[in-house]
Structure 1
Amino acid sequence: MGEQVRMTAWVRGQVQQVGFRWWTRSRALEIGLSGYASNLSDGRVQVVAEGSREDCEKLLDLLRHGDTPGRVDGVTEIWATPDGGYDGFAIR
């Protein structure tokens, strides 16, 4: 199953008001991750995902290079120990 991690990613670009969070939720659920995606006041989207490191890296790769709604100019991420407090993948 691999090392369990929490990935927090901040996605910059034209990612609000274009269905980006819903697209992210669909990809995360397909991969089997839990967590959430939320809009930030500065125009970025924050994505928090928990699962195996391999699965989180799959989502990160999709955020950076997938056929996303809108336009992604960059993604910054940090890695941490998972909290395990998420049921599914939410839109906030």
Structure 2
Amino acid sequence: MEKSLHCIVSGKVQGVYFRAFVQEQADSLGLCGWVRNLADGKVEVLVQGAEEAQKALTERLWQGPALARVEHVEANHIDYDKSYPGFAIRG
């Protein structure tokens, strides 16, 4: 099983099209998984795919869309027992 990348992004990352940005970036890199807003104002991301693509996405998370202000990206590789056919925005 490939490692999944789990990220928590903090800063001004809700209400600025951050989830749509992540989906666009993940799709362009061929990654699967999901992104969702958290109740505390952060955004959670889980991606699966090539390690190089995961690294590229992490770098892009630090940039974010134009209206975002990313303060921190916590990224960890984890074992995840479910695989995803594509990338989705969750509620």
- Give the TM-score normalised by structure 1: 0.88
Deviations 1:54-79 (A, max 9, x none): 11001001111x35241100100110
Gaps of 5+ in 2: none
Kindly state the Cα deviation for residue 22 of structure 1 after the two structures are TM-superposed. Answer: 0.3
Deviations 1:20-53 (A, max 9, x none): 0000000000000000000000000001000011
1:76 and 2:74 matched:
yes
Equivalent residues, number: 89
- The SS at the match of 2:23 is helix
Q: Aligned runs of 1:5-84 on 2, under 5 Å?
A: 5-64=3-62, 66-69=63-66, 70-84=68-82
Moved more, 42-51 or 73-82: 73-82
- Give the TM-score normalised by structure 2: 0.89
Counting aligned pairs with the same residue, the percent is: 35
